[in-house]
Chains A and B, each alone.
Chain A
């Protein structure tokens, strides 16, 4: 894992969470622009996963593979589900869900870094 990318993901997640919080406060549903923000995070996650996979294959870094990939897959699932909900629920509650999803992805990123560093 690349630490700067992980930090970027963390910052983007917090930014999206903040944006979603604002929408909760002003009682608005998720807008498409926020989903594009989520897509940027998702793209960073995919790149990160590919890089991690390559490093693990050819490099000498070692991790608890099952644990690591379990977290990677979980992290990749969260935002798409929140996005699907944003289309189904056109009230402020979709913003609440996006907020929870963004914080979850950020937290999982933090755990991923921990898992990457141990062993």
Chain B
């Protein structure tokens, strides 16, 4: 009756590996780009480039949290990404002046194949379903005829 235990499935195993891998690649890409932008040409567009670096760091946090099953860190990180990509995406479409298309979140992540837009939803779904799985398992644990 181990299935009665209120454990959740680790976020970093099985299909979660793929999510962590994609998060990791995006984290690498965004952070490297952010460091490059801040180090080389910060004065050109300080707000956009600092945001770019921040986005990269948030992806790093999310990758780490998902890989090591730290849900209390993963949730806020994934939610920040969702808010970030929606806010910056909208701003970059409405007002091109302040947001040059040079952050991961610009144009809803168009420069990265819209992965930054899809990923938070996948992350939320995964965090939710790995937590729910334990609950449903508990309900269906009764022996069937």
Contact residues of A: prevailing secondary structure: helix
A66-B39 in contact (CB<8A): yes
A82-B32 in contact (CB<8A): no
Report the separation of the CA atoms of residues A70 and B40 in the bound assembly, to the nearest whole angstrom. 12
| Chain A, Cβ-Cβ closest to B41 | A66
B28-A93 in contact (CB<8A): no
| Residues of B in contact with A, size category | 10 to 19
Chain A neighbourhood of B18, CB < 8 A: 93, 96-97, 100
- Residue B118 at the chain A interface, CB threshold 8 Å: no
B40-A96 in contact (CB<8A): no
- Residue A43 at the chain B interface, CB threshold 8 Å: no
Report the separation of the CA atoms of residues A94 and B13 in the bound assembly, to the nearest whole angstrom. 10
Report the separation of the CA atoms of residues A91 and B14 in the bound assembly, to the nearest whole angstrom. 7
> 16 more A-B contacts (CB under 8 A) besides A70-B35, A73-B32, A77-B28?
A66-B39, A67-B36, A74-B32, A78-B28, A81-B24, A85-B21, A89-B13, A91-B14, A93-B13, A93-B15, A93-B16, A93-B17, A97-B18, A97-B21, A100-B22, A101-B21
A: residues with CB less than 8 A from B are: 66-67, 70-71, 73-74, 77-78, 81-82, 85, 89, 91, 93-94, 96-97, 100-101, 104
